[in-house]
Chains A and B, each alone.
Chain A
């Protein structure tokens, strides 16, 4: 029995725009979408990757009542998930279709407004605003809207969340529990994460410089990215690729810092590679986690250098385009990796000048490069708590974009 898992639909929204075409255009243009924060007031001077639409505008785009207060996470997620489903061209009637979504902030943007009042007086604050606080609330709403309720759940392992959601979806299809799954993640910018990463001292006031010797932190972003995953019995408009391998491993080193030898990232990448049956030289492009913090990039660089024995395949961090979209990163960047595979491009790592001292000579792709013959791509997402997840997508012989 064919237990292959196929990717048959894509959907995304980031600072680069709404929809997968906007992502592709932005990546090909090689221009950053980062800029000053305009969504809400904060005392921090930060550069972010914000989606350039208000909640009301997003609600209208998603066909929702703009008078109702939805969390931004819900709005971004609905737009991207609906796109992935539509892109597949599948009529889901009679199929067991699940929705597995990742988010790390959930409805925090609205809870923050509630708390502003509640903090002054414990009898104040509109209770209705808390309905969407739960991480699961956005997922449930989107699943009901898209009628993909055969299995619905939410994953939060911080910045690796969406890769874990895609893995969970692929595993459920392989186990024969579902025919198809929309899997990925969504997160919006909010004061909570801006202050959180600022308190950790890892927000760069300048544009982030992943894998550069002078890197000094990350820029936060927001967005959503989903894949329509399915078994062989579901027929989609297009077959982008297969999910060839994946692994989740734990660094077991520190709650927020990564180990110097990148134990967790090494295990995640090598685990995914082992499962795929591919050889290291088969990997044509790596979309690295590459947040731009000194610690992450050193750890990830060391792990790649070890796994690929000094011959790391072409790689880049796309955080310079979108910022770090946290719980959505795995969804958004899986889509970028798949676009690399199907369109034949290597995406540039913006703002790189000089290689990191931990791995001298390790140079990412610096310009959008057309490249034929990419057959497999790897994408990494690592999160707090040492949570490391890697996925490999492989070109599918049958259909191509």
Chain B
């Protein structure tokens, strides 16, 4: 371990730290505090009244529900995808592995128009779904589809390194002790993956909650039905309802902070868990 004295051998702490703090304050902290300042001009009761209208409640329910569903889908398929990409060799694997990051790189508006066109009744997939009586675009299902797209890389990329580090000998030992494969998975592998899986889930969930660009195209933007919280904020904003917009935005921010805290705790737990295992 290095001692404090040794650390200070290196120059530039004052300069870099100073720049970091100034830049952070200018770009992030001051603007964010403006929002809270604005929201604080409302009493808690007023904020409550804004948040408790049936329209906002419906938006919260939808945002949380759809984000949760999408993060859930991603947790299940993300686990499979991560497992397959780490453990198996097959043709086209490198391509698929590279593709996983696409939602990070592809602009949300592009994803939005592409998914909407694909899943609308005239689209390639929407036409097929329509025949079995399922409407995807402009419904809640469409929102879940867009949010699944957005959140996919989080689960896969958080799980991959953890799966890579699982020692095959553990599995062999487990099998050697007479465990069936599913038992090995359930009792030996899965507990090891759980912290990372939860982290990935939380990251995907957090990202989905704030998503706007892709959802605005594919959701019908119908109050009470297909209106997500970011859209509601935008609508309130466009309706001159600044108080309403800031109140809802502030409440979302608080939730985001809590989520971020949870994610950091999960990651810390995951690291510790890993160190022990």
Partners in one complex: no
Residues of A bordering B, CB below 8 Å = none
Residues of B bordering A, CB below 8 Å = none
